[in-house]
Each structure stands twice: as C-alpha cells, then as structure tokens.
Amino acid sequence: MTHAVSNTPVSTTSDATAVPTPAAAPAFTFAELGLPEAVVAALARNSITVPSPIQEKALPDAIAGKNVLGRAQTGSGKTLAFGLPILQRLSLHTDRPAAKRPRSLVLVPTRELAFQVVESLAPYANAQGLRVMPAVGGTPFNKQVEQLRRGVDVLVATPGRLADHLRQGTCILDSIEITALDEADQMADMGFLPEVRAVLADTPADGQRMLFSATLDREVQSLVRQFLPDHVEHSTQDGKASVRTMDHYVLMVDRGQKDLVLSEIGAREGGRTIMFARTKLGCDGITDRLRALGIAAESLHGGKAQNQRTRVLERFKNGRTPVLVATDVAARGIHVDGIDLVVHVDPPADHKDYLHRAGRTARAGEKGTVVAIVLPNQRRQVLRLTGMAGVKATAVNVSPGSAELNSITGAKKPTGEPLRAESSPRDRNSRPGYQGSNPRSGGGYQGSNPRSSGGYQGSNPRSSGGYQGSNPRSEGGYQGDRPRTGYQGSNPRSSGGYQGSNPRSEGGYQGDRPRRTDSSSYRGAESRGYEGRGSDNRGSDNRRPASAPRQDEHRSGGFRSRTERRSYDGFDGPARSH
C-alpha cells in the first residue's frame, strides 16, 4: 500500500490579486527531529541549518521507521535525507556491530557516488563514533575484508563488489536494520537490478527500506512493489527537469566548427565545466585537443584505474582542473558543487541521461547552464530528447568568436600554448628493475606492457620499430571514427599524427597496409633462429635455418602485410608446393 503525499503548494489567492510571496519557513529544524545533539552541531558547523525540500518531506517519516520512496533530482539533498535517519537509528546502540555484519546498507550505482556518500556522512557519523565504510570495485578486496571483520555501522557499496563479499562469506546481511537505495533509476539503466534484488532478498524482511530516484520508470516500480510494499512517497518534482535556476540551450554549429567552439567554451574563465562524450575514446580525444590549445582539461571514464579516477576528480573539485571530460557512466557519481556549465558534446542516449547530465549543475539552489553542441543532422534528435525531459531549450546559431557564444557560456579564445599530455597508466612509474604489470622506461622484464625501447613487446606496440602485435594503427592524426588532419594530440611522433597514448616511430607492423622499411627493421627473433609466427617449423622437415638465403631478394626486409605475400628475413611463409 502506498501513501501518496501531496507536495504541490496550493495558492489561496486569485490570479487577479496574486502577488509574489516569500518561501514558507521550514516546518521544523534538525534539532526538532530528534537527531543526536552531536549530529545537529556537526550540521551547524557545515552551515546546514535548514532542511532542503526533500529532507523536509522525507525525514520525519524516515526517522519514524517507515519505508520511504523519495523522488528528487540530483543535488537536492537526498544523501542526508536517508543518511540522517540511518545515523539517528544507529546512535541508539550501545555496543559495537558484530564482525562481518554491518547494521545498515546504502547501495549506489558507481564507485564515485559511493565515495561521495561516505564523504558526506563521515563527519556526522564520526561525531557519534559510528564507522562508515565503502565497498566498491577497483579497491583492495582484502582491505575491505579486514574492515568488515572489525565491524561496520554503515556499509556504502556498489552491487557488484557487495555480491563478491556475499559469495565469499566476508559480509553477512542478517543484521541490517536500514537499507537505502540511492539513484535507483541509474542502477536499473546500468543493469544492476538482478544484483539489487538478490541483495535486498538477503536483508531482513522486517527491516526499514528507503529508495530514492530521480525518475520512476517501470523497472524501478517493480522493485518498489516487491521490496517496499507499504511505503510513503515524497516527491519534489515529476521526474522531469524543473530546476528553475538552470538554463538550457541548443547551440547549432556548422560542420568543421565544433572543435573550435568547444575549445573556446573550455577556455572560459571562472567556474567549473563538465563536458560529456559517449565513449572513452571520445573523452581522450577531446581532452588531448583541448590540452593542445592550453586548456587544463582531464578525462574521466571507466578505462582509468580507480586511483587515477580519484585523483582526477580531486583535482576537479579543488579547481586545479577546471574542465572535466567524462562519459555518462563515470560521471554519475560526480557530485561536485560549483559546476556552473554542463556541455553535451555528444547527444545523450535518452532523456534520462540528459537529466542526469544536467543534474551536475544548479545544485542546492545554485545557478547553472546546460548547452548541447549540435550539428545540423542532430538537431531533431536533441530537440526530441529535451522535450521528453521536460526542458524548454533555446536554439541558438553560434560560431567561433560569436557574441552569442560568449554571452551564453563565457567563451573566449584559448591561449594556444600546449599543455603536457594527460598521463596514462603506461606513462607513469618509469623506473629500473622489475615492474610487474607496470611500464618502465627501459631494460628488464616488462610483463605484458609496452616499453620505450628494446626487448620483446608481447602483444603491445612499442616506441620504435618492430612488430606491433594485434593493435595496428595507421599513420595520421587522432582517428576517432574517421581520420583527421591538423592537430595530432600531444604525443608527437617522428612521422604522422596522434597515436593514442602509445607513440611510436617508423617501422614495424602497420596493420593491413604495406609499408616500406629499411634494412634495419625488426626481423622477428631471427638471431635466435625464430622463424616468425605461423611458420611451419614446429616439428616439420621443411624448415630452413635462419641463416639460409632469403627468397624474393627483390623485397626489402621486415614483415610486409597480411594482404601481400608474407616475407620475413629468413622466413618465406608456410611451405608451398611447386
């Protein structure tokens, strides 16, 4: 049974005499809710004295122990709406939680959001001696096991990593008193609902449950019916964009001008900017082109290690990196105050992604601007998405240096002085000796990673000449989905353009295109008698020694191409009948 709660203010004044009225004072203060004094004092130290709308509506029922369904946009204060009731309940205990048995659980879709929740709740939990712990992928599993063994009050977890702990018996959910699901619609979009259902089924059926979501689609409704059969619903909006401090624009650009417009937006002064791209490759390409023009931008996507993602996000928070280029999935945990511009570089997949992207700005009553950079063939798609999202976007034709672009985004011409390329996992930790799975600058065993010179390279490219494994790259600049000319990224090479984060000089395997190489090209391991891959020398009587005269002397040495007749020095392909 659902107890719907009306959240729409009703005016008793006729239209003819309607006058602006100040916002109503909150119905209560945090102290009046029965929160521990230490929590109230910690809130005051953080200048939080007045509940947000969703907190004002949901907190009384949540503290009373009722199941709560909350619908509110990102940045509306949902974390404290479910976090404070959890802390209030757990503060009543006088003993420590048992080993492996947390007392409350918060499920979130992404690692970044888990860290954000822990960071938000930690000051108020510490004030009462309660322990809050994240359990997410990309971080040491054994360390989490040890923390769980010592006892945890509030466990903030992603579904995948929590499932790992449950399977191995390092976490048991039979002592959970309160379970909260944050961003439930995003978990549904990411395909986590089977894991979420399994986790909820392991928690006590008589425990309190809270679910918060920006939208309430069919999958989330089925979750509510199954695990929140008797709940109170509180909503501050109807699932569409209703933030009045957010302005939306569709910036129409001509083909060939998108990168220039994007660079001028990135060069603006003041505030933080987040740009969204569809793919990891797109993020890295945009970031490289911005940095080549003097714009301090960094990328955030699932291809980065967790410690890299954490450092990138920290630099974005403290202002060292004013521009963040992210994918939808990675950005779903970015809850950073002060983001005043969101840029859709690529159109979102659907209207829900549009709302989640837009929710990075105009948080907690601040103002924000959302712009979509749209090519002529994308206009219809973007306008349809904004309509489905309940957004009234203003379409404006802009060009590099135009007054309209400057007035909407604060765009300015970039300095054009290149910045150092954004580091990658294979660019760091260059030191001598054994590196395990890490790259190094030269000498020694390199595992399966590339190195700057010499030695067997496994299946990865190398910086000078030689067999390039199964990752061929043709010459020319950043390719994306099509070849480009002009700016070639910030990793120069001796010929051709940007080659990703694995620069190389001439020579070596060039994909399916033949290349001419000089006599110094890599010949396989012929000095050791190795006759190349796919040779017939394994137990064959037809093998020739590496020193035997080469056939086809008119060809230059080196691996030529799969589309041509194979030719190694000392190897002429599989044996052929004459």
| Within a domain: 494 | no
Q: What's the mean per-residue pLDDT of the chain?
A: 75
pLDDT of 244: 66
pLDDT of 154: 98
H/E run at residue 115: helix 111-126
Task: Note down the domain range covering 162.
Answer: 37-235
Instruction: Choose one of 235, 252, 280: the last residue of a domain.
Output: 235
* Residue (of 539, 530, 533, 546) closest to 574 by Cα position: 533
144 and 53 in a common domain: yes
pLDDT in tens, 147-198: 999 999 999 999 999 999 999 999 999 999 999 999 898 898 888 999 999 9
| Within a domain: 24 | no
* Residue (of 294, 292, 255) closest to 497 by Cα position: 292
pLDDT in tens, 297-310: 999 998 898 889 98
Residue type, 523: R
CATH number of the domain bearing residue 164: 3.40.50.300
143 and 274 in a common domain: no
Instruction: Please indicate whether residue 337 or residue 361 has the higher confidence score (pLDDT).
Output: 361
pLDDT band at 27 (very low <50, low <70, confident <90, very high): low
Residue 102, pLDDT above cutoff 80: yes
175 and 116 in a common domain: yes
Residue 321, pLDDT above cutoff 90: yes
User: Of the ranges 29-43, 372-386, 470-484, 509-523, which is most confident?
Assistant: 372-386
Q: Map tokens 């798609």 to a residue.
A: 381
128 and 80 in a common domain: yes
* Residue (of 111, 169, 157) closest to 133 by Cα position: 157
R_g of the chain, CA atoms, integer Å? 29
Residue 378, pLDDT above cutoff 80: yes
361 and 313 in a common domain: yes
Helix, strand, coil percentages (3-state) for the chain, rounded to 5, are 30, 15, 55
397 and 262 in a common domain: yes
Region 359-376: mean pLDDT is 86
pTM assigned to the model: 0.61
252 and 175 in a common domain: no
